[in-house]
Amino acid sequence: MEIIKEINILREKIKVRKSEGRVIGFVPTMGFLHKGHLSLVEESKKYSDFQIMSIFVNRIQFNDTSDFESYPSDLQKDFKLAEDAGVDIIFLPDDAEMYRNNLTSVDVEILTENLCGAHRPGHFKGVFTVVSKLFNIVQPDIAVFGQKDIQQAISIQKMVNDLNFPLRIVLAPIVREKDGLALSSRNKHLTSEQRENALCLSRSLEKAKQVIEAGETSVRNIISEMESVIRQGNPDSIDYISVVSYEDLGLINEIDVKSVIAAAVFFGSTRLIDNIIIEAGNGK
Ligand code: AMP
């Protein structure tokens, strides 16, 4: 596995691989890798035969400076995990390599109005800008994103369609701990008590699934059921509990279309997100 920090060098390497007929798979990350990230590499290997992973903590997508400054990092461990997972190149640019007096940004309208978009001003613009840059730098044939950040994945698919990026986006399922907690680099910040309490998030989504399977279609009722489960975990605050249509991420009142049920909850200053996708009416 090679670790490359410079755009020009990366481009040269990729050009050679492409000329050999290799199909380039790409997994963008912010590092502090866990099994969720590694599952994206596994998914990528199904569609491609040369794996590039980027590790870049993208300052411009953090609406909260202390969240950026405390973002966990362990590059040596990341390199080992990535290599074992079959990554061929890690792209590890620094801030100066990615942003030299950058005056251009990319945004996706409408899809970013609810969920995290409503609560993290500027976040998605920062994400779409860096992902566009990474797509142009790496020029992958496919790129894999996790359902964990469902609004991000759906919006990036739209961005790729709208801006004619010549690649395929693949969505990979959420990887969870045995007890249900969705893996996240930010879980590291949780105390053991918060870690235990944080289970209320995945439990609330399980609860939503159960009541839907039992025939509930009213979003108001579903949210209220979820809220009581989340309150049992004593969160410091609930950022949102929302149900949106999968298609356009617009708020809905009834579960009558494919939908996303999502929540964001604070434990201390750690903000955790989780979601499930519901195929209309059957709770799957
Ligand atoms: P991050 O490093 O948090 O920016 O995440 C990089 C990629 O990994 C994104 O596409 C995330 O959606 C994905 N990801 C993060 N956590 C998980 C998880 N628990 N399961 C699957 N994918 C994940």
∠ CA 64-30-102, nearest 5°, is: 70
pLDDT of residue 107: 98
**Active-site residue among 37, 119, 123, 189?**
37
- What does the longest C-alpha to C-alpha distance in the chain come to? 57
The model carries a pTM of: 0.97
pLDDT grade, residue 217 (50/70/90)? Answer: very high
The reply to whether ligand 1 has any atom less than 6 angstroms from the CB of 175 is yes
20 Cα to the center of ligand 1, angstroms:
30
pLDDT per position as a tens digit, 104-125 = 999 999 999 999 999 999 999 9
36 CA distance to ligand 1 middle (Å): 6
Contact between 167 and 159 (Cβ < 8 Å): no
Question: Residue 284 above 70 pLDDT?
Answer: no
pLDDT tens, 125-154? 999 999 999 999 999 999 999 999 999 999
Ligand 1 atom closest to residue 33's alpha carbon, by position in its atom list = 2
Ligand 1 pocket check for 126: Cβ under 6 Å = no
- Alpha carbon nearest to ligand 1 atom 5, residue: 29
φ, ψ for residue 64 (rounded to 5)?
Answer: -125, 115
Structure tokens at 214: 């039992």
Residue of 269, 271, 268, 250 lying closest to 260 (CA atoms): 250
Which atom of ligand 1 is found nearest the CA of 32?
A: 2
Which ligand 1 atom minimizes the distance to the CA of 145?
A: 10
Does pLDDT of 281 surpass 60?
A: no
pLDDT at 166 over 50: yes
Give the pLDDT band of residue 283 (cuts 50, 70, 90). Answer: very low
Question: Which three-class secondary structure state does DSSP give residue 89?
Answer: strand
- Could you give the strand order of the β-sheet that contains 89-91, starting from the edge strand earlier in sequence? 2-4, 89-91, 50-55, 24-29, 142-146, 168-172
The whole-number average pLDDT for the span 198-204 is 98
Share of the chain above pLDDT 90, in %: 98
CB within 8 Å of 197: residues ≥ 6 apart? 233, 234, 235, 267
Whether ligand 1 lies within 6 angstroms of the CB of 185 is answered as yes
In short, whether 61's Cβ falls inside 6 Å of ligand 1 is: no
Nearest CA to ligand 1 atom 11: 146
Query: Is-catalytic flag, 119?
Result: no
Quick one: CA dihedral 116, 121, 123, 129, positive or negative? positive
Q: Which of 226, 240, 227, 238 is nearest to 267 (CA)?
A: 238
What average pLDDT does range 187-197 have in this prediction?
Answer: 98
Burial of 144 (0-12, 13-18, 19+ CB in 10 A): buried
What CA–CA distance (Å, rounded) separates 139 from 22? 12
Atom of ligand 1 nearest to the CA of 148: 12
Is the CB of residue 183 below 6 angstroms from any atom belonging to ligand 1?
yes
- 89 CB contacts (<8 Å, ≥6 apart)? 1, 2, 3, 4, 10, 13, 14, 51, 52, 53
CA of 26 to the centre of ligand 1 (A): 13
How many angstroms separate the CA atoms of 201 and 207, rounded?
A: 10
Q: What DSSP designation does 97 have?
A: H
pLDDT of 282 higher than 90: no
Query: Among 91, 149, 151, which residue has the most ligand 1 atoms within 8 Å of its CB, making it the best to mutate?
Result: 149
**Residue 102: CB atoms within 10 Å:** 11
